[in-house]
């Protein structure tokens, strides 16, 4: 058996958003160990330049590999758009990002071929989703809406106030106007307010988020590479963040509905933009 089978899966995001991906992974891959890093000191990523995000993502991924990660999961759309290709080119372990699987799922689910996208400014500006959707269906009409401030409103301790409702109402207006039948939640924070978003998109619209799709992709990659852990044990998990561990623990454990134990505070290093 490959000795890396027993190594953990490394997952990172700018904050708690990647926990929506981890949540699906814990359900689909219950025997695996996970190390999760939330870059809360750098949060949000959505307004940062791509070269800075590449450097930071590489430093985080190298820290995860230093923790023994057999695979690195970029559980953040903004970091995927900015850094996935760079990480795959420079690291020796498999690196999986979000976006590809949801783009495919969105094209498969849309009957009208009118697809909506909600994402951070950086993700929308990168054009990555639009390209991936068009790679699957060149005729699909994509209504892409940047949602500045939404991830921050979600990551605050108690997000359900009039302000966030107003934000979601405003950001979804172009989707209602375009009568989309499929909406990609293109930021891993957004599934945390999925019920709120559902009320503001066209009633028949299908919401597509990264968690489920990426968990399937990770399972497939590990299986093909002979790195899946035997299922006769319960996996362990550990958490680290770059900002305040107590704040991360409070919001994270409430969302994941499990105790976090000790959250390490780590600075993976400020790599120069690449």
Using alpha carbons, select from 268, 220, 222, 224 the residue that is nearest to residue 8: 222
* Among 37-45, 86-94, 215-223, 231-239, the segment contacting ligand DGL (CB under 6 A): 37-45
Cβ closest to ligand DGL, residue 13 vs residue 212: 13
Q: Which residue in 43, 129, 171, 239 binds ligand DGL (CB under 6 A)?
A: 43
Residues of span 118-147 touching ligand DGL by CB under 6 A: 120, 123
Residue 110 binds ligand DGL, judged by CB under 6 A: no
Q: How far apart are CA 187 and CA 152, in angstroms?
A: 12
Q: Give dist(CA 98, CA 28) in Å, integer.
A: 16
What does the buried/exposed string (b/e) look like for 96-134 if buried means 16 or more CB atoms within 10 Å of the residue's CB? bbbbbbbbbbbbebbeeebbbbbbbbbbbebebbbebbe
Positive or negative: CA dihedral 207, 209, 211, 213: positive
Distance CA 150, CA 143 (A): 18
Q: Which of 8, 10, 38, 44 binds ligand DGL (CB under 6 A)?
A: 44
| Residue selected from 7, 8, 10, 13 as contacting ligand DGL according to rule CB under 6 A | 13
Counting contacts by CB under 6 A, is residue 182 touching ligand DGL? no
Tell me: does residue 248 bind ligand DGL (CB under 6 A): no
Q: How far apart are CA 222 and CA 5, in angstroms?
A: 9
237: β partners? 34
- What distance separates the 2 farthest-apart alpha carbons in the chain? 55
Q: For residues 252-271, which are near ligand DGL according to CB under 6 A? A: none
CB of 17 to ligand DGL, least distance (A): 3
37 binds ligand DGL (CB under 6 A): no
**With binding defined as CB under 6 A, does residue 97 bind ligand DGL?**
no
**Is 187 among the catalytic positions?**
yes
40 binds ligand DGL (CB under 6 A): no
Give yes or no for residue 78 binding ligand DGL (CB under 6 A).
Answer: yes
State yes or no: is 241 an active-site residue. Answer: no
Task: Give the Cα separation of 114 and 167 in Å (integer).
Answer: 22
Site residues, ligand DGL (CB under 6 A)? 13-14, 17, 43-46, 76-78, 120, 123, 151, 187-189
Please identify every residue annotated as catalytic: 76, 187
């Amino acid at each position: 058996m490959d000795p890396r089978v027993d190594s953990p899966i490394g997952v990172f995001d700018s904050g708690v958003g990647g926990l929506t991906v981890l949540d699906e992974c814990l359900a689909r891959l219950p025997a695996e160990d996970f190390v999760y890093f939330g870059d809360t000191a750098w949060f949000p990523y959505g307004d940062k330049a791509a070269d800075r995000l590449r450097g930071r993502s590489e430093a985080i991924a190298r820290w995860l590999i230093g923790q023994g990660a057999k695979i690195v999961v970029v559980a953040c759309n903004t970091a995927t758009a900015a850094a996935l290709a760079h990480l795959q080119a420079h690291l020796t372990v498999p690196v999986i990002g979000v976006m590809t699987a949801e783009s495919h799922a969105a094209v498969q689910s849309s009957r009208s071929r009118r697809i909506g996208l909600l994402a951070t400014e950086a993700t929308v500006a990168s054009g990555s989703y639009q390209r991936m959707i068009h790679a699957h269906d060149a005729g699909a009409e994509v209504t892409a809406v940047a949602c500045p401030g939404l991830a921050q409103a979600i990551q605050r301790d108690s997000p359900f106030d009039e302000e966030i409702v107003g934000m979601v109402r405003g950001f979804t207006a172009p989707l209602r106007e375009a009568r989309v039948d499929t909406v990609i939640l293109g930021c891993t924070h957004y599934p945390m307010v999925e019920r709120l978003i559902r009320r503001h998109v066209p009633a028949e619209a299908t919401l597509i988020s990264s968690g489920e799709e990426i968990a399937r992709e990770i399972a497939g990659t590990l299986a093909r590479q002979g790195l899946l852990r035997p299922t006769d044990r319960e996996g362990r998990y550990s958490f680290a963040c770059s900002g305040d561990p107590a704040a991360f623990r409070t919001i994270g454990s409430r969302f994941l509905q499990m105790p976090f134990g000790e959250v390490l505070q780590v600075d993976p290093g400020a790599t120069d933009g690449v």
